Chain A
């Protein structure tokens, strides 16, 4: 068996770039630790603007990582966000890749 270095493959080569983007990583991290939240809560927690958050959520929804549910809380419309099983898996895989990569980084420069 050859190591990644010997085979030329970089451990971060197959990183999911959709997940790796900082704002989206923040959104996925937030959704990973809760069951669901609405748009406003996510905006408060991430500090992203409405437009920015909306654009990242659309990308994550298109990839099947986030489920966006429209519902009513009383008379107010609410946009509920939830991580899908494949989103959870993608986040876990990404974390595993980063861990593997960090494990190979020497402590001393």
Chain B
């Protein structure tokens, strides 16, 4: 069982009470912070969008309307819980949890702070025990995020199907196709990060990003980062990829028939996914809790210990991405469905695959001491040939489809 226990340095050696208490405390903190963070996110999104649209936004409940989400939540709790006649009872009840639980579990593998400077592996002292500001560091690390996001697909899909009504079903079919398609691009750009960091565990990935030039956004050459952000937006079903709940076409999408608490669970899951996905991006590409460091110079926050400083850096980077997501929603118009699929399959997947191959070739060249420019030139030429062949094939198939030769 050593491998299972390796998820936290606390759990090595014989089991004592204190480590268990610390782990329970971490679970509690993550749960509470997750819920409060989601509340904050809903308010933040409404307020920022209001600002961008020259409105005031929520301003009645509490200072700056910050308690608006709490009021909405209380209202949802006291609403009637409907169960449609044609619904599949068991699956209808199960679906919200399948959406909600994975959204929470992603928190477990994200390093939320800790001291990663000077080769420290994020270890901090709590009550005399060495631990990490992270619930677990399983050997599969970041793959857990992919696995959980593939379970989250079930939540949406089953919710739409079990409602026994056509709009939710259409929304669910759209959502599933979209999420499965973009998961491929997501995984391929993730592979570029794993290739550069050489580890699956989030601690290892954060550990290699110790200065700005080692941040994976720079080290992998920006392209995987851009693709990851686009694919993550699609994975989250956020605008401009929110065809899943396009009100003009589908009433409300997969959750049309849901009300009260079950709807609240979907709502929570959606916003929490936005936060956790931003956290994943920060961890993978922007060094997570690592401070901003250029060469020998490190941006040090005064008066704060290194352990706590990690959390502050993480939150700052997280806020940046939350703002970007809101910005997307305020600026970009929704894509048409065929544009969505074309972007995913014909643009993002080929580019991320090609970029991954290029990175792998450069890496091999560096390990074997080959001439960098020669390796880069040959690989780029090969990729260009592949791209020309692919565009030729797409052109032919497009022409065939227009002439109606094949169907």
- Do A and B come together as binding partners? no
Interface residues of B (CB under 8 A from A): none
